[in-house]
Amino acid sequence: MERRIIHIDMDAFYASVEQMDNPQLRGKPVIVGGGVRGVVSTCSYEARPFGVRSAMPMYRAKKLCPQAIVVPVRMARYAEISCRIHSIFAIYTPQIEPISLDEAFLDVTASEHLFGGVENIGRLIKSQIKEQIGLVASVGISNNKFLAKLASDINKPDGFLIITDQNKQRILDPLPVSRIWGIGKVTAEKLATFGIDTIFQLRGTPVNQLRNLLGNQAEHILRLSVGIDDRPVEYEQQAKSISTEDTFDTDICAREALLDVLKDQVEVVAEKLRYQKLLARTVTLKFRYGDFKTITRSRTFEVNTDKTADFLTAAQDIFEQWHSSSPGALRLLGFGVSGLSEHRGAPGLFDVQQDKKQRHLDSAIDMIRSKYGKDIMKRGR
């Protein structure tokens, strides 16, 4: 049976939540972010015509759009809204693959006959998110994940597009090769030197030539260029991991600046973990250098935890080991936790009181940051 895949992408999610919660921000250019690292987390569509983009340094964003209103990140609030959105998804299918707080794939192959077909499900989800929550989602529908995501991107904001076998090549061919998963900026530039700028030109290139340019990814990328993607929607009752990462507009090598980014990432991930009532066993840092070389380093705890202090200690230790052995300018830094569970190993007899105090502290900080923004309170740097 041909799959029926829906991709839901919330439009300017963080900024839209801020505009929803504060009507005075509606219709105005809003930038969500700031803090120690001074980076844009996201911005409203009113700010984008000025050139403001995610991961841009705040000083540059303010220079491009001086009239923009900057508000702090409230991750717990966004996670709360995301849970409400996912409860709408669950009405139509249990097969949900969350990509981030504001993005998910749904496989409705087995349930579409219950709700009048895949197009009707897409429109119902879109309207219910608008009516019940007050936010706008872009919806893409197709028979695979690649085309469904492409469909949701093409007509943003407030988009709705179905890509079929009949119209897929007409839509794909004029697009730049960078719209294909796996082709980043460096690869696109390499292809351009051989006169391959569009998907049409890519799919017309002999596979042997593409192997020289793309290596063992050539066949997979060629399949995507003709709209073939066999990857299933990967769904589980419980997430495998929780992570966040920052891509920098300019490569950063300063140790203190990178540590500031990492500490904020730890706070965000720990807050998400506690919101979902989960504990983690392993922490992982991702380091991507300016030449796109990427390495990861991990550490596993003896006992599952959700304490920010545990994650901070482990993350800083991993970072310092990396910095002493393989330092370099980074274009991306990421932090994540895995080995998730809903149950914790019992703390030792002498750790009980300290553990209780730490959990109360984390809970209080979560509450304050959720209400007033993540930059209102930070742990000691």
DSSP class of residue 306 equals -
Estimate to the nearest angstrom the gap between the alpha carbon of 313 and the chain centroid.
Answer: 24
Rounded CA-CA distance 352/295 in Å is 36
Estimate to the nearest angstrom the gap between the alpha carbon of 179 and the chain centroid.
Answer: 17
Using DSSP bridges, classify how beta strands 241-252 and 280-289 pair: parallel, antiparallel or unpaired.
unpaired
On whether the CB atoms of residues 12 and 29 are closer than 8 A, the answer is: no
User: Between the CA of residue 302 and those of 275, 280, 299, what are the distances in Å?
Assistant: 22, 11, 10
User: Between the CA of residue 252 and those of 58, 249, 256, 287, 345, what are the distances in Å?
Assistant: 15, 9, 10, 11, 38
Question: Catalytic pick from 103, 112, 267, 271?
Answer: 103
Rounded CA-CA distance 135/10 in Å is 8
List, in sequence order, every residue forming a beta bridge with 300; answer none if it has no partner: 282
List, in sequence order, every residue forming a beta bridge with 96; answer none if it has no partner: 106
Using DSSP bridges, classify how beta strands 103-107 and 96-100 pair: parallel, antiparallel or unpaired.
antiparallel
Q: Which amino acid is at 86?
A: H
For the chain, first and last CA: distance in Å?
55
On whether the CB atoms of residues 248 and 332 are closer than 8 A, the answer is: yes
Dihedral Cα 65, 51, 30, 125, nearest 10 deg? 160
Asked about 245 being catalytic, the answer comes back as no
| Closest to 369 in 3D by CA, of 247, 267, 238 | 267
Rounded CA-CA distance 144/230 in Å is 7
User: Between the CA of residue 346 and those of 278, 300, 343, what are the distances in Å?
Assistant: 15, 17, 9
On whether the CB atoms of residues 44 and 19 are closer than 8 A, the answer is: yes
Helix or strand holding residue 120 (H, E): helix 118-128
Residues with a catalytic annotation lie at 103
